[in-house]
Amino acid sequence: MKWLSFVWLPAALCGVTLFAQEWPTYNGDYSGRRFSPLTKINSTNVNSLTLAWVNRANPAAGQQGAQQGGGGNTSAVIKGTPLVVNGILYYTIPDHVWAVDARTGRDLWHYAWKSKGGWHIGNRGAAISGDALFFETPDCNLVSLNLKDGKERWHKEICDLEQFYYGSVAPVIVKNHVIVGVSGDDLDIPGYLESHDPVTGDLQWRWYSHPEPGTPEAATWPSVEAMLHGGGMTWVPGTFDPDLNLYYFGTGNPQPVIAGRGRLGSNLYTECIIALNPDTGKLAWYFQPSPHDTHDWDAVQTPVLFDGTIGGQSRKLLAQASRNGWFFVLDRTNGKNIVSSEYVKTNWAKGVDAKGQPIPNPAKQPQFDGALVSPNQGGGANWPPPSFDPDTGLFYVNASRAFSVYYLYDDDDKPEGWGGNDRGGYSESLLQAIDYQTGKVRWSHKWPGNGGGRSGLLSTAGKLLFAGDTSNNLVALDPATGTPLWHAGLHTGMTNGPITYELDGIQYLVVGAGDTLYAFAMMGR
């Protein structure tokens, strides 16, 4: 089996040599596998892992601006994945970036954006190219900082706060493109992805999450007006195959969110896995995990890239554990479906169509007197990143088996906004290991207790899988069996995806929990 090692950026732009010892992008590399080749920490010595340092985000130490409208106060919760380049670790919360010594956790600089507002629900992280760092702000700006001192280079407006957009996504650098997405689902606005010049910040291209009026795909909407206000936010960073020159990402829910009667049809390109040419923003292909979604099941989960064997043939694959509870494996050269299966039991689909896309059961769409649906709005999975381990051939996702009742509230002929919601629920939290060739769950580890938290995942060549459980623990498991091997109790549940890097022969493991970064290592002295 041949596995991709996507640690590639043009040196002319990066100015940074990327080693497996670092963590230079949101997913560590372009593939989205969150698999590290590092082995200093491994299954034979993980019980000797010790706390190396702690760093607590203190936004009050910086300049904090007014935050009117939208989501209110800055949430000092680390939901972004830190980056590690040249021994410096960079992390974010909404409006704030810190650079810290990756060996000691000591603050080097702190940048605070003076905010005008927007939802402060979370920030997924930053991107680095050469001597510059890029991040989004809740009030719709893409900001570039000098890597060495955190001074601002430039900022560009990337969305319209007046239309209730906001910024939360970690940018992704692909060649000379800073690729950014947008967030917001209070009003009926279109989602899009756009690319900026890393030097000037100028807009290079924009791709909307809807077809061009008049094209066959536009017929998946009842009107141009519905389509142009149809949502499809792009709020999780994507992945990139340099050989195919394709950038992959997911799009979010259509608008109105719950009340779908004004947008009958499959509502392309919302709820899609999308492949774009990163140089032009031109669509290469799409696959829609949730046609005509009415449950807020954004299909934004990381599209993970790897090469595998299907039917005895080596294939270039893409896999996603989608929020709707289904797992998909696609041929990433053309988007053709190979596997569609449930990774948690669901009750909303009548099967799959010829393209491998689930067929929604109309009876399980939100109803005025309620429809009992699984998964709930939180989904079988959500934004916390999954992991793929090439050594086991397993795709891991921190999942939920959950029920809630979906109600329609808006009986107008033309609902807008949400028009309904779900309520209540039962859920259990599971770490699922999925065989990509069959889509079957090879092993499942139910987290004990009733907590509902979930974290991102990391697998390593040290035969370890790191995850957050529902009881505030960072847990290392055997990736082949799901057996817990080691844990550390944190002060709250993990809130991001773990990373690992190696400096001076010491491998570090860093996780975010609430406002705190915890670094673990085999310090030895």
Partner 1 sequence: MRRLVAQALACGALSGQALFGQAGPYERQKVDPTAADRGKRVYTQYCINCHGALAKGTEQGPDLIRSPLVLRDRLGNEIGPALKKLANHKADLTQAQVVDLSHFLKDQVENTAKNRNAAKPPNVLTGSADAGRAYFNGAGKCSMCHSPTGDLAGIARKYDPINLQQRFLFPRGGRGAKPTEVTVTPKGGPPISGTLDRIDDFSVSLRDAAGAYHSWNRTADLKVDVRDPYQTHNELLDQYTDTDMHNIVTYLETLK
The answer to whether 288 and 343 have CB atoms below 8 angstroms apart is: no
Q: Given candidates 59, 122, 167, 190, which one binds partner 1 under the rule CB under 8 A?
A: 190
| Cα 496 from Cα 513, distance rounded (Å) | 7
132's enclosing H/E stretch is strand 132-136
- Contact positions with partner 1 (CB under 8 A) in 122-151: 139
For 222, counting Cβ atoms within 10 Å of its Cβ (0-12 exposed, 13-18 middle, 19+ buried), the class is middle
# residues near partner 1 by CB under 8 A: 71
Residue with the two structure tokens 């590690």: 84
Pick between residue 336 and residue 414 the one whose CB is nearest to partner 1. Answer: 414
Q: Applying CB under 8 A, does 367 fall inside the site for partner 1?
A: yes
Question: Which 275-304 residues touch partner 1, going by CB under 8 A?
Answer: none
Those residues whose C-beta lies under 8 Å from the C-beta of residue 272, and which sit 6 or more positions away, are 209, 232, 250, 251, 286, 287, 288, 289, 299
Does the active-site annotation cover 296? Answer: yes
Binder of partner 1 out of 104, 412, 492, 523 (CB under 8 A)? 412
Residue from 37, 71, 222, 449 binding partner 1 (CB under 8 A): 449
**From 278, 325, 360, 419, residue interacting with partner 1 (rule: CB under 8 A):** 419
425 part of the interface to partner 1, by CB under 8 A = yes
Residue 32 vs 70, nearer CB to partner 1: 70
374 binds partner 1 (CB under 8 A): yes
- Token pair belonging to 117: 């507002």
Q: Which of residues 56-75 bind partner 1 (CB under 8 A)?
A: 68-69
**Tally of CB atoms within 10 A around 11:** 11
Q: Is 333 exposed, middle or buried (0-12, 13-18, 19+ CB in 10 A)?
A: middle
Provide the Cα torsion 137, 32, 251, 366; round to 10°.
Answer: -110
Determine which one of 241, 296, 422, 515 is catalytic. Answer: 296
Q: Between residue 452 and residue 491, which ones bind partner 1 under the rule CB under 8 A?
A: 469-471, 473, 475, 484, 487
Query: If binding is defined by CB under 8 A, does position 504 make contact with partner 1?
Result: no
List 7, 310, 405, 506, residue binding partner 1 (CB under 8 A) = 405
* Cα separations in angstroms, 195 against 126, 184, 245, 482, 498: 15, 19, 15, 40, 27
Tell me if 263 sits within 8 A of 256, measured CB to CB.
yes
Instruction: Look up tokens 């372009």; give the residue.
Output: 30
- Within 426-445, the residues that bind partner 1 by CB under 8 A are 426
> Measured from the CB atom, is 392 or 473 closer to partner 1?
473
User: Should residue 424 be labelled a site residue for partner 1 when binding is judged by CB under 8 A?
Assistant: yes
Give the nearer residue to partner 1 in terms of CB position, either 72 or 87. Answer: 72
**Window 170-189: residues binding partner 1 (CB under 8 A):** 186-189
Q: Which of residues 216-245 bind partner 1 (CB under 8 A)?
A: 224-225, 228-229
The residues annotated as belonging to the active site are 296
